[in-house]
Structure 1
Amino acid sequence: MNNQRYSIQEFVQQTKQKDKHQGIFELETPRFLEVNLNGQIWAKMGTMVAYHGEIKFEREGILEHGFGRLFKKAFTGEGTPLMKATGKGKLYLAEQGKKISILSLQHDALFVNGNNLLSFEPSIHWDIKLMRKIAGMVAGGLFNVRLEGNGLVAITTYYEPLTLIVTPDSPVFTDPNATVAWSGSLQPDFATDISFKTFLGRGSGESIQMKFVGEGFVVVQPLEEAYFSEEPSKS
Structure 2
Amino acid sequence: MRRIAPCLLILSWVLTLFPAAAHAQSTDTVRAVVYEFLRGQSAGTPGQVTIRVTPPAIPPHLPRCDQLEPWLPAGARAWGKVRVGVRCVGQANWALYVPAEVSIVGNYLVSAHALRPGDILGAADVTVRRGEITTMGRQLLTDPAQAVGKQMRFAVGQGQTLRATMMAAPIVVQSGRPVKIIVKGHGFQVANQGVALGNGRAGDAVRVRLSSGKVVSGIATDNGEVHVAP
**TM-score category (smaller protein):** under 0.3
Relative contact order higher in (CA < 8 Å, ≥ 6 apart): 1
Q: Which has the larger radius of gyration?
A: 2
Q: Which has the higher strand share?
A: 1
